[in-house]
Structure 1
């Protein structure tokens, strides 16, 4: 789930950033006394010995007191650098003194041992362990599934057909590069996982098996460090709603659209009840099973989804740009409920308006209009979903009771 952000909090962060970037008040510099190797003129020898000369043992080593003094000076340098680095406009690296001290200690230890410093192998061990774990996960995936031809590619990854070796169950295998895992979720164990995985696991709760819910089921997932592999059920035979509409000549009749839209509203309501915001409901992310006389809807692609709290609002839009709700253009903010209803309206619009692809800006400027050839009840359903003001849109509960569905 991208992270939810508030306009006010952003302003506060900006003000805080400006304060931090402003020049820090000047502090009185500490005076350091440069020590000369030779005693200055007219200086008593006794004072010189006490203040300047180092006590040297017979073997030529520095006394413990001298070493202690050097250690104190080193720490003073560290403190000064740390204070300087606290200003936002400084270019100094606060870790520099620590690195130098460590290097000096390492060299001194090496000279005492008469050889090179010993290198720690902990980093190599960690990397090797990670490689072994990743290879084990990949082997586990390949032992269980067979990957076949590519089905499609989107903004969040590529999807391939495949099957499970044990029972030849058709599966869809999705490969998501790490840089395309846009949202993370912290599970109950404090571990960060893909929000797509988290939402699909949440949807699986309470179901009895594959094919029992509107959303496709997640069967397995594998984190391979550089990519994430999701294995999901693949309904067969099935096509996405866009291809289904195209196969019907560019649009579907109102009665068939009603059957599909009833299932879509029920699926959206199921997501809402489990506090999940899909964010990208559209004809490409809906599968239609065609194995029976009645089309069955399945919802796919939760790559941009997130968990939602009551009255949560969002400022960064994730989804299809052509389907952005109008309130985002006006106020740079949107909410889960009204946005989902808007997307339901977009799906219906594209289903019954020929090959016309919906665009929010064109619709709000009246360049795209609801067809008068539709029934009055269907037109009313569309007008409600596509109301320009989010408060004027019905809720999903109200849509389920709409007269068009009766």
Structure 2
């Protein structure tokens, strides 16, 4: 007997034996009370009929679920399939994938919207075959941007799904120059790389030395003169923006605090190592699941910068070197000094790692209110020149709306989160809280809740494992 289970945008439900816990039930004794969890992520709610959904399955059973992939290239998941298990996390489903819950019960996933093909070039397909025994690239696209694209890949040894960012280097790049990594991973002589690719290599050059639950984990990098293949952990709950939409458009004080605290943990880890992200925004904060208290992950280090280490040079020279001067980030979340619009900093004064803290303040305001804090869509200039409006408001930094008792949203937000935002959105960069100071703000450190926050954080990261040591993390092909 066949049964149809519909999956709609941005929803989560369970399949199992217990009718109180599951939306769809089956009575077989080998089926667990909660056997499978299905969740669907949509990144563009306003284009719901054009956006291929990302449907994930997570095994929650005692007896396990076997996943048989429709892609015959996934050799280990053919036949009976690969045993998912409770510790395997969520698996992104492709059209035709089979989920075997028992000897007599198999679910087959069918997508009404065909996913976009990966569109790898002939050369990229040949290069991918060189490492396909270790990582198999699939045709399933996770995202497309100016940098290139992100596709699903399969770690052949463990059958884990990972994300692979593919960056195509310009064929008209300037003459090769020697670009060495900050710390050699294997002691070998650096190879000549196209100088235009320096920014692309900077992303994994920074990530290769990082290991933290709230920072995306780099799995492996392959590179050629044509393309870079950056393999990272697959984070399955969507980005922070889609999560806020899933929760109804904005979060309550406690929900927001749990997320902001994790972001601060990640930023503190970065800043302690003199690394500045420079593009903290909802799109670059990923959720491991749609559950409350899920682990969050900071991703996309394409704009990140590692500041010079302390040396014997004069203090003035060092402080100057620790300033940055290039444009980076996203307008709604960027500190005004990045765009030379901070009235307290000269146009040639650059900026410091405190720009990340400004971004955290803007992120927090978005979580609590459902909108960016420095915008005015009623301004007649906004339609033609939104940048001028946004930067003008940021440069003025008028936060009176936070204390407006008649405001429909901010009047419902507690005093501590509002004070937290004020402590970060400071034009005087020396007055902005650091990440460490922010973690000690009363919003998180109140005696009534501090231990609960700590306990919740430990639960959120309990399944995270640091990347095992790899002899050659970055490998030419």
Identify the TM-score tier after normalising by the shorter chain.
0.5 to 0.7
Tell me by how many angstroms 1:244 deviates.
Answer: 0.3
Matched with 2:392 is 361
Matched with 1:67 is none
| TM-score, normalised via structure 1 length | 0.59
Structure of higher RCO (CA pairs closer than 8 Å, 6+ residues apart):
1
Tell me by how many angstroms 1:159 deviates.
Answer: 1.2
Matched with 1:315 is 325
Change (3 A) 1:136 1:162: closer
Change (3 A) 1:283 1:175: same
Change (3 A) 1:137 1:296: same
CA offsets, 1:338-376, max 9 Å, x none? 101101111111111124475443344467743343211
Alignment of 1:269-348 (within 5 A): 269-290=268-289, 292-309=291-308, 311=319, 312-327=322-337, 328-330=340-342, 331-332=346-347, 333-348=349-364
Alignment of 1:147-296 (within 5 A): 147-179=138-170, 186-187=181-182, 188=184, 189-191=189-191, 194-204=201-211, 213-236=213-236, 238-290=237-289, 292-296=291-295
The runs of 5 or more residues in structure 2 that have no matched partner are 1-122, 174-178, 311-318, 375-389, 403-409, 446-477
Change (3 A) 1:404 1:298: same
- 2:146 counterpart of 1:139: no
Matched with 2:441 is 402
Alignment of 1:366-385 (within 5 A): 369-370=401-402, 371-385=410-424
CA offsets, 1:128-156, max 9 Å, x none? xxxxx999853233332232321112343
Q: Structure 2 CA distance, aligned partners of 1:299 and 1:261?
A: 11
- Kept in 2: contact 1:308–1:336 (CA 8 A): no
Q: Structure 2 CA distance, aligned partners of 1:373 and 1:367?
A: 19
Residue correspondences, number: 264
- Kept in 2: contact 1:146–1:165 (CA 8 A): no
Q: Structure 1 CA distance, aligned partners of 2:288 and 2:219?
A: 19
3-state SS of 1:257 partner: helix
CA RMSD of aligned residues (A): 2.7
* Larger relative helix fraction: 1
- Kept in 1: contact 2:215–2:299 (CA 8 A): yes
Q: Structure 1 CA distance, aligned partners of 2:332 and 2:145?
A: 16
| Equivalent in 428, 447, 461 of residue 389 of structure 1 | 428
- Kept in 1: contact 2:397–2:427 (CA 8 A): no
Tell me by how many angstroms 1:234 deviates.
Answer: 0.3
Highest Rg: 1 or 2?
Answer: 1
Tell me by how many angstroms 1:295 deviates.
Answer: 2.1
Matched with 1:351 is 367
The runs of 5 or more residues in structure 1 that have no matched partner are 1-132, 205-211
Change (3 A) 1:356 1:347: closer
Tell me by how many angstroms 1:381 deviates.
Answer: 0.5
Q: Structure 1 CA distance, aligned partners of 2:373 and 2:149?
A: 24
- Kept in 2: contact 1:172–1:233 (CA 8 A): yes
Tell me by how many angstroms 1:230 deviates.
Answer: 0.5
| TM-score, normalised via structure 2 length | 0.51
CA offsets, 1:285-332, max 9 Å, x none? 001122654221111111111211363111211221333312331433
- Kept in 2: contact 1:156–1:303 (CA 8 A): no
